[in-house]
Amino acid sequence: MHITYTAATTAAPDSPNEDFFAVGDGWALVLDGAGRYPGESGGCIHPVTWIVARLGLHLSSCLSQQPEQPLTTIVRSAVEATMADHGSTCDLSDPLSPGAAGAIVRIREDRIDWLVVGDCAVVIDQGPKGCTSVIDDRVDHLPNAPIVEGQVRTYSPAYVATVRNKPGGFWVLASSPDVAEHALVGMLPGHPAATRVLLCSDGISRLTERYGLSWQDVLALHDSTGPDSLIRAVREAERSDPEPQRWRGKRHDDATVVVMRVAEA
Ligand SMILES: [Zn+2]
């Protein structure tokens, strides 16, 4: 089975890139750092870029060395290893510990496995059989969530502390290995000939969630002008947005996309 990969990542203007991607033999992953709230340490002294890099390293290592393990087992191991890396300087019992959203895809001869947690997406395109997207939007459907209207719409840290990495709330890859059991996981059986799989952070998926493109549009743009053109398209849409404060989140965000393509059978 021959798989090709294309990828692009760019930071939001004037900030470090807290996204991360990696690809290996039949797998790919995208991470999107879930940072701190202003004035909150999250109990951790490390920059979000460090946490994302550690998670990315441990996930990549598990995916390469334990190809038969379920993705949930791999996520549990990688979160535990990253927690150990923090060392004694950090209080990982803080419910606001910085971490990351993530998407992982593994393509095998007889199936495609995926795992999504937080603001990352997986889109599987089977051509005439259609396009399936996996998005974890639990953070947008929290019960009785009080929204703070500021420069952007957001949740208060006090509220987030009650629902983050808790059953019935939303999950991120941070300081709870149990995230593995609460991630969205799935499997597409059969030989994946002529299938494409896109993984991205929400800096890219806002093309569909905010700016009216379909996933077929996104994939067609990728095919015609490459992964960088998706980042250009999202920056153009953000700059032309007359009212970015209507969204929960930033005007610009780090944007990362990976596309895996399985050759024809
Ligand atoms: Zn730390």
Q: What whole-number percentage of the chain has pLDDT above 70?
A: 97
Cα–Cα distance for residue pair 226/230, rounded to 1 Å: 7
3-state DSSP call for residue 4?
A: strand
Distance 48 CA to ligand 1 centre (A): 9
Residue 173 has pLDDT above 90, yes or no: yes
Tell how far the Cα of 98 is from the centroid of ligand 1, in angstroms.
8
Judged against a pLDDT cut of 90, whether residue 130 lies above it is answered with: no
pLDDT at 10: 97
81: CA distance to ligand 1 center in Å?
Answer: 12
Residue 250 has pLDDT above 90, yes or no: no
Counting residues of the chain whose pLDDT is more than 90, the rounded percentage is 77
In this model, does residue 206 exceed pLDDT 90?
yes
How many angstroms does the Cα of residue 64 sit away from the middle of ligand 1?
25
Q: How confident is the model at residue 191 (pLDDT cuts 50, 70, 90)?
A: confident
Distance 80 CA to ligand 1 centre (A): 13
Looking at residue 163, what is its pLDDT? 92
pLDDT of residue 197: 97
Cα 75 from chain centroid? 13
List of domains in the chain: 3-201+254-262 (3.60.40.10)
For residue 252, the CA-to-ligand 1 centroid distance in Å is: 26
pLDDT at 105: 98
d(CA 40, ligand 1 centre) in Å: 13
Distance 61 CA to ligand 1 centre (A): 21
| CA of 94 relative to ligand 1 center, distance in Å | 11
pLDDT at 246: 77
* Rounded CA separation 127/110 (Å): 18
Quick check: 56 pLDDT over 70? Answer: yes
Closest CA to 6 of 218, 235, 181: 218
Write down the pLDDT at residue 149: 66
Contact 138, 69 (CB under 8 A): no
The pLDDT-based confidence of 133 (bands split at 50, 70, 90) is very high
User: How sure is the predictor about 83, in pLDDT bands with cuts at 50, 70 and 90?
Assistant: very high
Expressed in angstroms and rounded, the spacing between residue 17 Cα and the centre of ligand 1 is 18
pLDDT digits (tens, 9 = 90+) for 30-46: 999 997 877 888 899 99
Report the separation in Å between the CA atom of 44 and the middle of ligand 1, taken as the mean of its atom positions: 4
Question: What does pLDDT average to over the chain?
Answer: 92
pTM of this prediction? 0.95
